[in-house]
Structure 1
Amino acid sequence: MNKLTLIFFLSIFCVSVSFSQKKNTNTKPYPYGNPVITHMYTADAAPKVMPDGRLWMVTSVDHENGGGYATMHAIHAFSTDDMVTWIDHGEILGIDDFDVPKNEDWAIWAPDIVYRNGVYYLYFPMRNVLSDGSIDRYVAVAESDSMYKRFKITNPRMTGVEKAGLDPAVFIDDDGIAYLYWNQQLMGVLEANMREIKGNMFKLDIGANNFMEAAWMHKRKGVYYFNYHTKYNNVVSPENPNDPNRLKSNLDYSIGTSPKGPLTYQGTMNFELGSNVVNGPKLKDHNYVPWRLTQSNHGGVVEYHGQEYLFYHTSALSSWRQDEFNGEGTWTQRSVCIDALNYNEDGTIIPVQQTIEGVKKITINQPFSIQLKPKKAFHVEGLKTSKEKIISIKNTSSISFKNIDLGSGYYYFGVKLLKTPSKGKIEIRKDSVNGYLMGTILLDNNNSTLNKGYADTFLREANGIHHIVLVFINENSEQTIISEPHFLAGSPKKIEHQ
């Protein structure tokens, strides 16, 4: 950690402690739509569409009684089927899941989560102040076979992620390769087991020198978007919050043609908390919302049925619960907000309009899954079909299905694997064998034993009416035999009993 970063973290600690003891005495219902969780403090949301078709987020938890970042000891899960009604699924992992010395100062900070082939992988940073005063930081991994179950730690310390192991963010590309990003612009390729970094970590070139924390990668129309929290300095002046000489607590972003960079800096996607919010309460004697004076920014981006959303957090709820909007709230008692994320025609991001209303409720009316019938294929190349099976008999083969209606979006594609090559893949493409790659199922000898022989992959931009082409790539002239190819997660399932 360099001197500037150390000073920054010390300043955060001092300020958070000074504000953290204010009591949450106001019990009136929160009057607005943003933030979306109002019965507890949540921060650092990581949103993902899961195979049940619901939009889930995992969050870190700010303590009800304050105490700053050192009292963050849990990860919570929430889900929605309409972007407005959120279900609390409770704590999925906490400090007691670790066998840690009680005389040390432990905390769990910003997590991320991803699903792959029957397993949900949770990545989270552990921060420990050791008895000698030194700080130990690293990333751990926990897993579950269901979002409705508690997670079990499978790797208590990832090797290769020790250096500033904060704010891990996982990204699976359309070719099936998985990446992990974390602080100091560091990243690495994940092993097939999703628990380790393959080879050495390396630094992502973002085309700017203002990175502080909160890495997040998403992809749209073949372009990679990397957003992050910028370095900032000095407190926000009540009389001049937009002081041009002060480095701002923004979310900036860079774009490129590879998840490994280099990327080109583009500017700001989310300005400081409370910037330009209209229709909201005003801080006494000022023309801005009370939480405009707090600093913190952490963004997660997700697309859900035709609209992209930015998840971030503010101190609006703590301002309400502590002072009924007469004070700025506590910046270490934060709450997740959601607003629409939109783009210009050239693909650049339109800075997010932060609102107190939140996003509009959506209704999804389409089947949960779409089955592809092998006998209904209109073109095959290098393979055979039966009533139920597709048999790939060449190193590269394909099967095409005509005019499949993917509606407002399907988020996963799955198959039953009856025989797999030692190394191969199934590409799911739109319109032609060289058309847009929506996702890739990676194949090897382990597929038959993992997840009862079922394999699936996350999809991007699987919407509208298109010819669907499955491209089989088998190495060493080995066969692939599948059945039950289908799109899924096209609409949200009802909540399971917990």
Structure 2
Amino acid sequence: MKKRFIYILLALATTAVNAQNPFITDQFSADPSARVFGNRVYVYPSHDILCTEGKGRPGWFCMADYHVFSSANLTDWTDHGVIVSQDNVEWVDASGYSMWAPDCIFRNGKYYFYFPARGKDTTKGKGFSIGVAVASKPEGPFTPQPEPIKKVHGIDPNVFIDKDGQAYLYWSQGHIYVAKLKANMLELDGEPSIIANLPTEGLKEGPYLFERNGKYYLTYPHVQNKIERLEYAMGDHPMGPFKVTGVIMDESETGCWTNHQSVISFNGQWYLFYHHNDLSPQFDKNRSIRIDSLFFEPGGAIRKVIPTLRGVGLTNATHPIQIDRYSHRSTKGVSIQFLDTANTFAGWKTVFNSRKAWIQYNSVDFGKKVLKNLVVRAQSAAGAKLQVRLDRPDGPVMAECRIAESGNWQLSKATVVNFIPGVHNLVVTMNDGSQCELDWLRFE
């Protein structure tokens, strides 16, 4: 009863978070499955945690539950708390810590959440099974079914409902599999089949299928070399045949071994959700989810997505602007560091160490009402002067803020001398001084 009570409290808790990349920064998250329900985007990721003695396998992936996050603008995200835990699913081994990549779909007034996990009985070599939890709202509460889906053994479930109403389940286990689902969304309607014509060398997993202009795009992570890159194949039917078409995102430059994707259209723009190990650069089994815009070529091919720190969405000028999630920066004189290397969830800071070094943060919404003051959280041992410009490094000066000599973080305020309404890029330059560290800035 105590465990159930704690679970209910977690499920009811909501937390507001803001977005750049990664857009969830108070916990580790991976394998984002994004869905548009109503006028909001819901993201169902897996939840990485650190293994400890008796909890999971040290040095490996460790996941005990799932959260769901939602946003109406891709900038302000709400954490709706835990929706499914290994402790409240009847068939799941509660000591497995293997609640890997999930998905969710809406049908017939219900939301169906699909998740892989190791079952209590793995003596027959079945390994992972895929279960379903059902809810009346996209954020839950979800009720897990007492048994996993029969004839399905593997990980990374993905569900697609075609225009004719037929639902399909995709998953991976060495190969990528597909099968029709019955209308109840809980049982297969036929035997699983291996999707042919995909790469035969290297690991393939994480299928996610979407449709655009009558074409079906099967996306998946693939180890072509040493780590995963995101690829896709195209076909004329949800079950194929598919033709390998191209790469959505190259391998991580920093060596994060995995990636996992979903693709949605929201308010007329397509987006790629994926993950990286931003908050855990030394251990790529603790990852964080990201989002960037995705575009198509005239013939339907996907234009390769270059990952960004800025991410997507507008940032309100009156909210703290984390300029370390930059769009551009000068070639020297500025760097990004953790505020606290012992607590990476505290985020990052921008370090200026030469005069005229600059950093640019795109898409800040200043609104229409005149903003009178600039507030900066910064520190500088010898003192410094920061200059804020609009749109480009040589754009109009909006304010200059002097940072007093101090070895501690302090709030400094300056008068806005040139307010221009609307959406602008924001550029911060160290106009004077030898070194200055900037946490965030905002306007009031």
Give me the TM-score of the superposition, normalised by structure 2: 0.62
Instruction: Please give the alpha-carbon distance, in whole angstroms, between the structure 2 residues aligned to 1:312 and 1:149.
Output: 23
1:295 partnered with 2:261: no
2:43 equivalent in structure 1: 57
Q: CA deviation at 1:267?
A: 1.8
Is the Cα–Cα contact under 8 Å of residues 134 and 143 in structure 2 kept in the other structure? yes
For residue 218 of structure 1, what is the aligned residue in structure 2?
210
State the match for 2:387 in structure 1. Answer: none
1:396-407 equivalence runs, <5 A: none
Contact kept, 8 Å, 2:87 with 2:94, in 1: the verdict is: no
Matched, 1:337 2:328: no
Paired position in structure 2 for 1:123? 114
Quick one: distance in 1 between partners of 2:247 and 2:238? 20
1:34 is matched with which residue: 18, 21, 36? 21
Is the partner of 1:347 in helix, strand or coil? coil
Of 171, 174, 186, the match for 2:160: 171
Structure 1's 100 and 345: CA in aligned 2 closer, same or farther, altered over 3 A? closer
Hey, what does 2:273 align to over in structure 1? 311
Aligned to 2:171: 182
Match of 1:272 in 2: 251
The 1:56/1:128 distance shift into structure 2, 3 A limit, reads same
Residue 251 of structure 1 aligns with which residue?
230
Contact 1:188–1:201 under 8 Å retained in 2: yes
Aligned residues between the structures = 292
Aligned amino acid, residue 37 of structure 1: I
SS at match of 1:168: strand
Q: Which whole-Å CA distance do the structure 1 matches of 2:18 and 2:117 have between them?
A: 35
Aligned Cα root-mean-square deviation (Å): 2.5
Note if 1:231 corresponds to 2:246. no
**CA pair 101-265 structure 1, distance change in 2 beyond 3 A:** closer
1:197 alignment partner, SS class: coil
Cα distance in 2 between the residues matched to 1:128 and 1:173: 30
1:162-197 deviations in Å (ceiling 9; x for gaps): 2xx210000011111110000021110000100011
Contact in 2 for aligned 1:213/1:228 (Cα 8 Å) = yes
The alpha-carbon distance between structure 1 residues 253 and 86, as it changes in their structure 2 partners (threshold 3 A), is: same
C-alpha spacing 1:70/1:353, structure 2 compared with 1 (3 Å): closer
Amino acid at match of 2:159: V
Tell me, in whole angstroms, the C-alpha distance in 2 between the residues paired with 1:47 and 1:110.
Answer: 12
Structure 2: distance between partners of 1:87 and 1:103: 27
AA matched with 2:129:
Y
CA pair 102-351 structure 1, distance change in 2 beyond 3 A: closer
* Kept in 1: contact 2:90–2:147 (CA 8 A): no
Instruction: Find the counterpart in structure 2 of residue 490 from structure 1.
Output: none
Instruction: Verify the 8 A CA contact 2:227 2:255 in the aligned structure 1.
Output: no
The one-letter code matched in structure 2 to 1:187 is V
Residues 197 and 294 of structure 1: is their aligned pair in 2 closer, same or farther, counting only changes over 3 Å? same
Aligned-residue sequence identity (percent) comes to 33
Higher helix share: 1
SS of aligned partner of 2:279: helix
Relative to the length of structure 1, the TM-score reads 0.55
Show the counterpart of 1:81: 72
Q: How far is the alpha carbon of 1:256 from its aligned partner?
A: 0.9
The amino acid that maps onto 2:246 is G
Q: 2:389 — aligned with what? A: none
Cα–Cα, structure 1 residues 108 and 263, in superposed 2: closer, same or farther, change >3 Å? same
1:156 aligns with 2:118: no
Q: How far apart, in 2, do the equivalents of 1:180 and 1:50 lie?
A: 19
Residue 284 of structure 2 aligns with an amino acid whose one-letter code is W
Counterparts of 1:332 and 1:224 in 2: how far apart (Å)? 31
Moved more, 304-313 or 125-134: 125-134
Shift of 1:99: 3.4
Within 2, Cα distance between the matches of 1:44 and 1:225?
18
Checking the alignment, whether the CA contact within 8 Å between 1:185 and 1:204 is kept in structure 2 is: yes
Instruction: Give the C-alpha shift of residue 359 in structure 1.
Output: 1.0
Pairing 1:196–2:187 present: yes
Counterpart mapping for 1:368-447 below 5 A: none
Give structure 1 stretches of 5+ with no counterpart.
Answer: 1-29, 233-245, 276-291, 320-328, 364-498
Task: Evaluate the alpha carbon distance shift between residue 79 and residue 101 of structure 1 in structure 2; reply closer, same or farther with a 3 A threshold.
Answer: closer
> 1:212: how far off?
1.3
